[in-house]
Amino acid sequence: MRTTYIGLGSNLGDSKQILCQAVAKLATLGTVRVSQLYSTAPMGPQDQPDYLNAVVELKTTLMPLALLDALQAFEQESGRIRLRRWGERTLDLDLLWYNNQTIQHERLIVPHLGLLERDFVLLPLLDLNPNMVVKGQVLKELNVVQHTMLQPIANNDWVKQTTQ
């Protein structure tokens, strides 16, 4: 089994339900654990709703490109709408980290390019792996983590609460 981390985001439709459905689909690929749930201001244009963000730890046998294909299929099945770059979307699934590997492929770069800069990714990752190191960086020691104002809006049982 390979350990992977997948970032989840949504700000269109019933975002919490959409993210719960995404977690259920990810669970068909292996064993999952979920981070706390965060509400975050948009990174791109500010004339859009806030996002709900989380990270899923997925232990899977899938190889990186097969996993990417599955993530993209899940986005499409969820009716993914992406109106503009860094704009609103129904579902965004990003392969953040794959079994401590560095991958440079025309379709996939891992670790994810923005991983070390985005508190809405780093904090949920740290929920799942408090001592995680990426590219030699101890995540909990990064400036963006040390100075974030981001707080979770739900603990890691948000998936169960939504599906009950």
pTM, two decimals, is 0.94
**Angstrom distances, CA of residue 1 to CA of 27, 31, 41, 75, 111:** 14, 9, 35, 23, 18
Distance between CA atoms of residues 143 and 117, nearest Å: 9
Q: Average of pLDDT values for 113-139?
A: 96
pLDDT in tens, 4-35: 999 999 999 999 999 999 999 999 999 999 99
Q: Is the per-residue pLDDT at 50 higher than 70?
A: yes
Catalytic one among 14, 33, 69, 92?
92
What integer pLDDT is reported at residue 86 of this predicted model?
79
Query: Closest Cα to residue 134, out of 33, 2, 39, 4?
Result: 4
Q: Is the per-residue pLDDT at 163 higher than 80?
A: no
What letter does residue 82 receive in the DSSP assignment? B
Q: Is the per-residue pLDDT at 90 higher than 50?
A: yes
Query: Closest Cα to residue 31, out of 2, 64, 73, 8?
Result: 2
Catalytic one among 2, 33, 80, 82?
80
**Angstrom distances, CA of residue 79 to CA of 69, 76, 114, 130, 163:** 16, 5, 25, 33, 19
Active site residue 118: no
Active site residue 94: yes
What integer pLDDT is reported at residue 43 of this predicted model?
85
User: Domain residues of the chain, as ranges?
Assistant: 2-163
Superfamily of 2-163 according to CATH: 7,8-Dihydro-6-hydroxymethylpterin-pyrophosphokinase HPPK (3.30.70.560)
Catalytic one among 89, 118, 119, 127?
89
What integer pLDDT is reported at residue 88 of this predicted model?
87
pLDDT, greater one: 155 or 164: 155
Identify the weakest region by mean pLDDT among 46-50, 57-61, 126-130: 46-50
pLDDT, greater one: 160 or 139: 139
What integer pLDDT is reported at residue 85 of this predicted model?
82
Q: Is the per-residue pLDDT at 161 higher than 70?
A: no
Catalytic one among 2, 33, 69, 94?
94
Q: Is the per-residue pLDDT at 164 higher than 50?
A: no
What integer pLDDT is reported at residue 162 of this predicted model?
57
